[in-house]
Amino acid sequence: MKRAAITIVAAVGGLAGVLGFNVGGSRAPLLHSAAPASNPPATPPPGSTSTPASNPGTTPASGSGSPPTGVRSALGNTYQYGYGKLAVRVTLNGSTITHVATVGLQTAESYSQQIAQQVIPLLRHEVLSAQSARVNGFSGATYTSEAYIYSLQSALDKLHKK
């Protein structure tokens, strides 16, 4: 149980180097991309579940209340995405998103575990890059991505940022 949580955190941590990656140019070249097998970095045991999203709710690290200044974080609601559950914690510095982490993740089967690993870090990057990539929406994966966005939105709502 706990083990899965740790590997997920490790997978997210392993992406830290990627966060500076610029989606830039018009497209990421596909022919040079890794084959499916070389993804993802961490492989939790199949069928494992994880992490009750222990839920401190909003934690103002500074300046709770009035204008959006300082570093604040909030945990979004936990959402089902068809095969499992996830929750997202978002951290703002002023009005800028500085950190997004998946803190609750539970999947019903090994297949969706794979999907979760591929999609969740991607979305984390997108949230952070959205401020420069400026897209209106994303097309592609379904369950996990929407649950992620849903939880993220609820976290942002808690921080009064729309």
Partner 1 sequence: MAATVHTVEVMGTVVSFHVHASALTESDLAAALAEATASLRHDDATFSTWKPESPMSRLRRGELRLEDAPAEVAEVLDLCVAAGTLSQGWFDAYAMPGGVDPTGLVKGWSLERALAVLVNAGVSSAMVNGGGDIACHGEPPQGGPWRVGIRHPWRADALAAVLEVERAVATSGEYERGRHLFDPIGRPGPPPASATVTGPSLTLADALATAVAVGGDAVLDIVASIDGYDAYLIGADGSESATSGIRFSDANGPA
Residues that bind partner 1 (CB under 8 A): 15, 18, 21, 23-28, 30-31, 33-36, 39-40, 79-82, 111, 115, 117-122, 125-126, 132-143, 145-147, 149-150, 153, 162
CB of 50 to partner 1, least distance (A): 18
Cβ-based nearer residue to partner 1, 42 or 59:
42
Asked whether the beta carbons of 60 and 136 are under 8 A apart, the reply is no
CA distances from 24 to 21, 87, 91, 130 (A): 8, 29, 24, 12
Cβ-based nearer residue to partner 1, 34 or 57:
34
CB of 47 to partner 1, least distance (A): 16
DSSP 72-117: EEEEPPPEE-SSEEEEEEEEEETTEEEEEEEEEEEESSHHHHHHHH
Cβ-based nearer residue to partner 1, 61 or 135:
135
Cβ-based nearer residue to partner 1, 28 or 61:
28
DSSP 107-133: ESSHHHHHHHHHHHHHHHHHHHHHHHH
CB of 72 to partner 1, least distance (A): 18
